[in-house]
Amino acid sequence: MFKSIVDYWNISLNAKMQHLQNSVMGKAKTTIEGYRYSGDSYKKALSELEFRFGKPALVIKATPGK
């Protein structure tokens, strides 16, 4: 769901990383809290979530900001 909501948007990687950081909670938030709000970190953070949890959509709220 996250990918369909944010990842496929035509927005900067910085904006995507901000949405990702604001959309995770619990263990997922802890997993990527060391990543900066930089677009350079976006793909690394997403990969870390996929590696750790299998499917990041399971640990990311469906709608960013809620």
Place of tokens 């995507």: 16
Structure token pair of residue 3 = 């990918």
**Contact criterion met (CB below 8 Å) for 6 and 56:** no
Q: Is residue 65 in some structural domain?
A: no
Q: Is residue 7 in some structural domain?
A: yes
Q: Is residue 12 in some structural domain?
A: yes
Give residue 62's pLDDT.
46
* CA–CA dist 24, 29 (Å, integer): 5
Q: Is residue 48 in some structural domain?
A: yes
**Contact criterion met (CB below 8 Å) for 1 and 62:** yes
Question: Residue 43 is part of which domain span?
Answer: 2-58
Q: Is residue 23 in some structural domain?
A: yes
Per-residue pLDDT of the chain (66 residues; tens, 9 = 90+): 676 677 778 889 999 898 888 888 899 899 998 888 788 899 899 888 888 887 644 444 444 554
The whole-model pTM stands at 0.70
